[in-house]
Amino acid sequence: MVQPIPTSTSGTTVRLPKPTQSFQPLEYWKPPKSVRHHVRSKSSGIFSTKKEGRLRPPSTTITEIQDPEKHDLDIQRQELEAEEFFESKSKGNTDMSFATIGEMAGRRKIFANDQVRGYKHVDSYRQPWWDVKSWGKKAWMILVGSVVVVLIIVIAVAVTVSRYNRYPNYSTQSYSLSETFAGESFFSQNFDYYTGYDPTNGHVHYVPAEQASSLNLTYASPSSAVLRVDTSVSNTSVPNASTGRFSVRVTSKKQYGLNSLFLFDVKHSPIGCGTWPALWLTDPHNWPENGEIDVMEAVNVVDKSFNQMTLHTSAGCTMKHVKRQQTGKVIANTCVNTTNANGGCGVEAGKDTTFGNTFNSNGGGVLALELREAGIRMWQFTRDKLPAGLWTSPDPNSWGTATADFPNTECNIGNHFRNQSIVANIDLCGDWAGSKKDYGKNCPGTCVDHVSNNNMAFTNAYWEFGNFSVFSVK
């Protein structure tokens, strides 16, 4: 409400003195001017007021504030008073003195040093990052690209894990006996004698059946069959062993395929420097296309050693990154004959008593081989731990974990292993036993000199077998 203009007693108007503080009546009072935004001058380090594209000289600099703490309190007090005024006005209360109104109208100023107190003046409202409606093309491209990369990584990891965890189903198969190699006809009825050049470059002469019989290199009794290295030829005899020592390699007349189970009763394994004995399966006329399975093999055994179980194949067969269930130790994962000097993908039987003197003194053992589409599995049993029903009703799934496991995960067994013949031989020197690396570990001189000149060093270089039994799926 506007107060009436005072008059004197004589009726004349009394002029009031001008107030010491300028103000306007309430009806004409205007709120404080809008906030002017401030920027820091790069050159002077002070705040300037920017309006309508022109820079105005700052009214207050940072250096003018003598007591920042007192200044902060003043600003807070001014803000509270302004809030009280507007709150009172909103309630319809206009009964306030002109002095109070003027004081409040002129007191609130926007100082250039508001930045010191933490005020941040923004020209526009920034949308929150989660508001997808405000996203631009670049943001969407980044999002889509990130999602694609994450999906590729997730799929790659999932495929790798799934691939590694794949394992074939070795379901139980019922086997029945197909044939047995045993007795005095062990060699004559079941095997052919190989007489050609040694394909592994051995210092050896493989002899035919008649010569093997006359030199007593192969013979059989009702309970066992023996295959040995010749000890009759010396460095002074005629003929001598300067071009190689006599030995034997026999190959079964019959060939076998998938769904076959083999049991090999081995009573004695050959030992001696320069020896390379092996009990294995292959297709002699199509190697390595039809594969090779080494059941029992070692070189230069002078005491005890590990038996090695190995596959050799053509391209397309590997055990790398393949889940396997076996007790043996992996030697190599690449089965292809053109890699690793035709070392194959081998497994070392769990103990160093699986070949050599300790194996022999314990009466040998039984080797089992299962050849099927799901994979190839091999076991080596000691004489005192033969599974029940081994010879009459064999069940590989009841024998426990295999010594060597070669699943079909990354190797098509049916394509890589066909027409398998049983082979037993004792090579001398050659690519493996005669190499400097392997021969020099435990043996004297050179392999060729040792084999040529030390005939009596091979008295224990012989295989002794009980019987071989072959089973097929019923």
pLDDT at 91: 62
Considering the entire predicted model, what is its pTM? 0.69
In a domain, 13, yes or no: no
E strand intervals along 374-446? 375-382, 404-407, 421-428
Q: Taking 60 as the threshold, does the pLDDT of residue 57 lie above it?
A: no
Averaged over 242-251, what is the pLDDT?
Answer: 98
Q: Are residues 304 and 435 in the same domain?
A: yes
Helix (H, G, I), strand (E, B) or coil at 25: coil
CB count, 10 Å around CB of 45?
10
**Given the structure tokens 């004959």, which residue do they identify?**
337
Q: Are residues 308 and 440 in the same domain?
A: yes
With pLDDT > 90 as the criterion, what percentage of the chain qualifies? 64
- Hey, what amino acid is at 271? I
Average pLDDT, the chain: 84
**pLDDT tens digits for range 208-220:** 999 999 999 999 9
CB count, 10 Å around CB of 389?
10
**Given the structure tokens 């050599």, which residue do they identify?**
356
Among candidates 270, 337, 289, which has minimal Cα distance to 310? Answer: 337
In a domain, 134, yes or no: no
**Cα dihedral 394/395/401/402 (nearest 10):** 50
Q: Are residues 211 and 351 in the same domain?
A: yes
Q: Are residues 203 and 91 in the same domain?
A: no
**pLDDT tens digits for range 134-148:** 788 888 888 888 899
Q: How far apart are CA 353 and CA 284, in angstroms?
A: 30
- Catalytic-labelled residue, pool 84, 297, 373, 464: 297
Q: Are residues 232 and 364 in the same domain?
A: yes
Q: How far apart are CA 86 and CA 394, in angstroms?
A: 100
Q: How far apart are CA 188 and CA 220, in angstroms?
A: 9
Report strand pairing: 308-312 vs 345-348: antiparallel
Looking up residue 186, the CATH number of its domain turns out to be 2.60.120.200
- Catalytic-labelled residue, pool 27, 69, 292, 464: 292
Q: Are residues 235 and 301 in the same domain?
A: yes
Show which of 100, 117, 134 is a domain's final residue.
Answer: 117
Query: How many residues make up the chain in this entry?
Result: 474
464 is catalytic: no
- Total domains in the chain come to 2
Averaged over 218-233, what is the pLDDT?
Answer: 98
81 is catalytic: no
Q: Are residues 111 and 234 in the same domain?
A: no
**pLDDT tens digits for range 156-202:** 777 666 666 789 999 999 999 999 999 999 999 999 999 999 999 99
Confidence category of residue 394, pLDDT binned at 50, 70, 90: very high
Return the CA Rg of the chain.
Answer: 50
Q: Taking 90 as the threshold, does the pLDDT of residue 447 lie above it?
A: yes
The residue range of the domain holding 379 is: 175-473
Write the CB contacts of 8 (distance below 8 Å, at least 6 apart in sequence).
14
Among candidates 180, 177, 246, which has minimal Cα distance to 425? Answer: 246
> Could you write out the DSSP letters of every residue in 333-386?
SB-BTTSGGGT-EEEE-SSTTSEEHHHHHTT-EEEEEEEETTEEEEEEEEGGGP
Q: Is 275 exposed, middle or buried (0-12, 13-18, 19+ CB in 10 A)?
A: buried
Contact 442, 300 (CB under 8 A): yes
Q: Which residues pair with 370 in a beta bridge?
A: 261, 377
Query: What are φ and ψ of residue 286, in 5° steps?
Result: -140, 65
Q: DSSP code of 36?
A: P
In a domain, 159, yes or no: no
Cα 451 to chain centroid distance, Å, stands at 45
Q: Are residues 211 and 304 in the same domain?
A: yes
Q: Taking 60 as the threshold, does the pLDDT of residue 310 lie above it?
A: yes
pLDDT at 424: 99
Averaged over 251-270, what is the pLDDT?
Answer: 99
Q: Taking 90 as the threshold, does the pLDDT of residue 1 lie above it?
A: no
39-53, 260-274, 337-351: lowest mean pLDDT where? Answer: 39-53
Q: How far apart are CA 174 and CA 269, in angstroms?
A: 31
- N-to-C CA span, the chain: 117
In a domain, 213, yes or no: yes
Averaged over 41-53, what is the pLDDT?
Answer: 44
